[in-house]
Amino acid sequence: MGNGTENREQWGSRLGFIMAAAGSAVGLGNIWRFPYITGVNGGAAFVLVYFAIVFTIGISVMLAEFVIGRNAGLNAVGAFQKIKGGAWPVVGWMGVIAGFMILSFYGVIAGWTIAYMIKSVSGLMTLAAAGKAGDAFGAFVTNPVQVIAYQVVFMAITIWIVYKGVGEGIEKYCKIMMPALFVILLILIVRSVTLPGASKGLEFYLRPDFSKLTGASIFAALGQGFFSLSLGMGCMITYGSYLNKKEILPSAAVTVTFLDTMVAFLAGFAIFPAVFAFGIEPGAGPGLTFVTLPNVFAKMPGGMIFSFLFFLLLFFAALTSSVSLLEVCVAYFKDQMGWSRTKASWLLGGVITALGVPSAISLGGNLKIAGKDFLDVMDWGSSNFLLPLGGIFISLFVGWVWLDGAKAEATNEGKHPFSWMTAWIWICRVVAPVAIAWIFVKGLKW
Ligand code: PHE
């Protein structure tokens, strides 16, 4: 068994780490999931609840994960084992399992982005102009051979980047893709908010109507927050483990949380004005992106280009997240089992791709567990269950079990005290565990 701490890979620069961590956070969760969940949950009021959760609980759990990861210099399981042992590594284990689960269905949806880039320039606009974007989407996702083929292509790219390693793979490509993503998003926003009729979308998105909030929507905001910030499953522990001892962790947590939330918020500006400008239902669900946006693009001058750019953006966002999901699993097998990076990447990547096949098939509507599509079960079980649960334990670990160690690590042994230390500690001790547990009880329903 290797303990992985000697000659361990490291990020090449602070910027590289920030881009990689923000790349992990910014993903399908921001651009595909956030707008449709916001649409389903009534708009602006949900957005405010989401912000409140992210900037209290989310940011604190992120710092807790960085602190644990950098202190141990190990994967999620190894980190808990090294710092405390006992039953704590189970938290890391849950994370690795969540990694397998999330990446299995994430790869399927990410595969759609490749398909839709190609479709954008080969007839999707004509179909959409004829009002057939919904039919085209339905025909595509219920054809498992196609969906699986694109999933395999997407997973192969993910595996290849992870196999190249932390610096030469993950960091290098995130540094190119993240700024590109930002530029594309800005172009789309300008197009969307200048459409005639865009103001109704802005109103839906920005004027809160608190009567629309329910226990279930607060629960959805929590699950969305954990999913979007890549929390609760050891992803930020793993990325933190490649950080040098000089990095200032609280400021890194603030930057990554801020970037992630900004991209999600901006994605809403690209989508809602356009959705309303063309009289589309904002609560359309997961299809919001893949069904309604092509309609929107088809009615815009230069729509083909905007459509292609949008799905390229989604592809980049998905890729920088999928590599982090795979890295959680690879780091575990590398550190704890002594596997080589090559073996871990290709073998685990292959297994996860195979695990995604039932999700891909379930889109045809005939692979259900207790009435839900297999893909939804994987999504629901991981984002709304494993991640918040992981968040509770990570907070308790830092707030009660390993407090002095965590404080020392968070301040670089006292060299960089930070002003919200007390708030952070109490959020970890009480606020986060109680709030998550309470939201669980309120919102947990099938
Ligand atoms: N945060 C990613 C997204 O928003 C998904 C993700 C979840 C990545 C958990 C890593 C860990 O798409």
The Å distance, Cα 27 to ligand 1 centre, comes to 6
Q: What is the pTM of this model?
A: 0.92
Q: Which atom of ligand 1 is nearest to the CA of 227?
A: 7
Tell the residue number behind the tokens 């190119």, with chain if given: 176
- Rounded percentage of the chain residues whose pLDDT exceeds 70: 97
**Confidence band, pLDDT 50/70/90 cuts, at residue 373:** confident
List residues bridging with 369 in a β-sheet: 372
Pocket perturbation via mutation, ligand 1, pick of 112, 319, 324, 329 by most ligand atoms within 8 A of CB: 324
| pLDDT at 3 exceeding the cut of 70 | no
Give the position, in ligand 1's atom list, of the atom nearest the Cα of 317.
12
Mean pLDDT of the chain: 90
pLDDT at residue 147 is higher than 50: yes
Residue with the larger pLDDT of the pair 150 and 363: 150
Q: Which residues lie with the beta carbon below 6 Å from any ligand 1 atom?
A: 24-25, 27-30, 102, 227-228, 230, 233, 235, 321, 324-325
Place of tokens 């994987």: 378
Ligand 1 pocket mutation pick from 228, 261, 380 by most atoms within 8 angstroms of CB: 228
Cα 102 to middle of ligand 1, angstroms:
8
CA-232 nearest atom, ligand 1: 9
Contacts of 129 (CB under 8 A, 6+ apart): 298, 299
Q: How far is the CA of 195 from the centre of ligand 1 (A)?
A: 31
Is pLDDT above 60 for 399?
yes
Nearest to 149 by CA among 190, 118, 174: 118
**Angle, to 10 degrees, between the axis of helix 59-72 and the axis of helix 403-410?**
90
**38: buried, middle or exposed (CB in 10 Å: 19+, 13-18, 0-12)?**
buried
Measure 381 CA to ligand 1 centroid, in angstroms. 14
User: pLDDT (tens digit, 9 = 90+) per residue, 406-430?
Assistant: 999 999 999 999 999 999 999 999 9
**What are the pLDDT digits (tens) for 59-92?**
999 999 999 999 999 999 999 999 999 999 999 9
Q: How far is the CA of 208 from the centre of ligand 1 (A)?
A: 27
Q: Cα–Cα distances in Å, from 284 out to 39, 56, 264, 310, 313? A: 7, 30, 18, 19, 21
Mean of the pLDDT values across residues 302-315?
Answer: 88
pLDDT at 445: 58
What is the rounded distance in angstroms from the CA atom of residue 251 to the CA atom of residue 370?
A: 44
Pocket mutation for ligand 1, best pick of 26, 174, 227 (most atoms within 8 Å of C-beta): 227
Which residue has the least CA distance to atom 9 on ligand 1? 230
Ligand 1, atom nearest to 25 Cα: 1
Considering only CA atoms, which residue is closest to atom 7 of ligand 1?
Answer: 230
Q: Which atom of ligand 1 is closest in space to residue 29's alpha carbon?
A: 4
19-42 pLDDT, tens digit each: 889 999 999 999 889 998 999 898
**Separation of 424 CA from ligand 1 center, angstroms?**
23
Cα maximum dimension of the chain:
64
Mutate to test the pocket of ligand 1, among 38, 154, 230 (most ligand atoms within 8 A of CB): 230
Alpha carbon distance 315, 107 (integer Å): 11
- Residue 30 has a pLDDT of 93
Please state the φ and ψ torsions of residue 368, each to the nearest 5 degrees: -120, 150
Question: What length is written for the chain?
Answer: 446
Q: Return d(Cα 240, Cα 242) in angstroms, integer.
A: 5
Nearest residue (by CA) to ligand 1, atom 6, is 230
Which residues are CB-contacts of 110 (< 8 A; sequence separation ≥ 6)? 28, 151, 154, 315, 318, 319, 322
pLDDT reading at 169 higher than 80: no
Buried b (16+ CB within 10 A) or exposed e, 132-144: bbbebbeebbeeb
- Give residue 354 CA to ligand 1 midpoint distance, Å: 20
